[in-house]
Amino acid sequence: MSLSVALLASSNGTQFSSGWILPFVGLLLSIALLPLLAGKWWDANRNKALVSLLFGLPVALYVAMREPALLTHTALEFLAFIALLGSLYVISGGIVVRGSLSGTALANTAILGLGALLANVIGTTGASMLLIRPYLRANRRRRDGGHLVVFFIFVVSNLGGCLTPLGDPPLFLGFLRGVPFTWTLGLWKEWLVAVGAVLLLFNFYDQYKFTREDLATARDLEDEVRSRERLSISGWRNVVLLGGVVATVLVSGLWIHAKWGDTVSTIFQAAAMAALALVALAATPKRAWAENEFSWHPFSEIVILFAGIFAAMIPALEILRSQGASLGVSEPWQFFWATGALSSFLDNAPTYVAFHSMAQHFPDEVAGTTGTVLAAISCGAVFFGAMTYIGNGPNFMVKAIAEHAGVRMPSFFGYLGWSAAVLLPIFLALTLLFFR
C-alpha cells in the first residue's frame, strides 16, 4: 500500500479541531491583504518568509508530534510540487522565442488557444512557463496588460489541461488510482465549452481595450504591435529537456509508482527533474537568460509562500478526508461545485483524491473510473483552480513573472473579482449542460 493510500485509510482527522484551520485562513488573508496594506514591505521575499513561517511552522510542529507520517507525506508532496515547477521554470527560461508576436486581440487569442492545447502535452505548468514570456513581449507596448495575464492564467494555467492525465496533477493522481489514461479525452465537450467561452469573451474584451487605448493615444497602436520580425526558437536542447520532464512524470507514474509506491516515485521524480534543471543551467548560454530576463525572484516567492500553504492546509485537508462523507454530496453537480470550491483555495490534487474516494460507492462509478460523477470531480478540480492565485501552482508563478516584467496585476481580491465575473457564469452553464 502506498504512503498516500495508507494515510487516507488510517487518518480520521479527529486529531484536528476546527481551530487548526485558522492558521491557513490567516495565511490566505495575509496573501490577500498585505500587498494592499503594506505593499513595499511585502515585496521583500524575506518578509514573505516570515509570514509563511508564522502560520505554517506551528501547524507543522503540531503534526510532527501527533502524526509524523502525515508531515512526511506532505513534505514529499511539496518536494514533487517544487521539483516540477522548478525544473520547468529553469528549462523554459532557456528557450528563447526570437522575433515578435503581434499583440493584437486575435493574435493574443490564438496564443491562449495554443496554450490550451499544449497544456495537455506538457502540463499547465509547462505550457505556462513556455508561453508567458513571449506573450508578455508581444504585448509590451500595451499600456494596460493586467487583463491579458489574468486570461492567460484562466486558459493556459488551468482550463486547458483537462484532456490528459499530464495536463493537471489531479488527473494524474486519478490515473494512478485506476482511471484509464485515455478516459480524460472524453471530457472534450466540457473542455471545448469552457475554453471556447473564455477565449470568445477574451477576444471581445481585448479588442475593446485595444481600441480604447488606440483612440486615447496619438500613436498607431496596431502598427506598433504588428509583428515585423521573423519568428525563431533558440534553445532546442532545452526543448528536449522539457520532453525529459514529461517522460519523467510518465516513468514515475507508470512504472516506479506501480512497483515501489509513492515515496520512491516522488524521490525519483524530484531527483530526475533536479538533474534536468542542472543540465539546463549548465547548457543554456547567458545570452538566453538575459533575453528572457530570467530571475530567481519569482520562483523564490513560490517556494516561500507555498511551503507555508502546504503546511497550514494539512488540518483542512484531513478534516475534509475524515468528514467529507457527511457533506451530503451525492449529485454530479454537487461534486462539481464542492470539488471546485475547495480546489479554489486548497491543493486541488488531494481535494480530487478525497472526493474520488467518496465517489467509489456510486453505482455508475466502476472502481471510480467511469461516469458523470468522476467527470464532475475532474472538471471541478481542474477548472476551479483558476478561481484564485493559489488555486493552482502555475497561477502565482505567472503572476510573479508578469509583475517582474512590469505588468500591474490585480490584487488577490481583484483577481477573485475577475474570476467570479468571467468564470462562474461559465461554470453554471457547464453544470446545466453536463452535470445536472
What does the pLDDT look like over 98-124, one tens digit per residue? 766 777 889 899 999 999 999 998 889
Least confident of 36-50, 81-95, 418-432: 81-95
Q: How far apart are CA 196 and CA 216, in angstroms?
A: 30
Residue 11 has pLDDT above 50, yes or no: no
What distance separates the 2 farthest-apart alpha carbons in the chain? Answer: 67
Per-residue confidence (pLDDT) for residue 5, from 0 to 100:
38
| pLDDT over threshold 50, residue 342 | yes
The number of residues making up the chain comes to: 436
Phi, psi of 233 (to 5 degrees): -120, 130
CA dist 52 and 73 (Å) reads: 19
- From CA 12, how far away is CA 323, in angstroms rounded? 8
DSSP 177: T
Question: What local confidence, expressed as pLDDT, does residue 28 receive?
Answer: 85
Distance CA 31, CA 315 (A): 19
The pTM (predicted TM-score) of the whole model is 0.80
Mean pLDDT of 162-174: 85
Cβ count near 221 (within 10 Å)? 19
Specify the residue for cell string 525519483.
268
Query: Which candidate, 316, 380, 321, places its Cα nearest to that of 63?
Result: 316
Q: Which of 425, 433, 432 is nearest to 201 (CA)?
A: 425
Mean pLDDT of 189-212: 94
CB 220 within 8 A of CB 104: no
CA–CA dist 300, 403 (Å, integer) = 14
Query: What is the per-residue pLDDT for 429?
Result: 97
Give the number of other Cβ atoms within 10 Å of residue 234's Cβ: 16
**Do residues 119 and 127 touch, judged by C-beta distance below 8 A?**
yes
Which pLDDT tens digit goes with each residue over 216-225? 675 656 655 5
DSSP code, position 346: S
Q: Which 8-state DSSP code applies to residue 390?
A: T
Beta pairing partners, 122: none
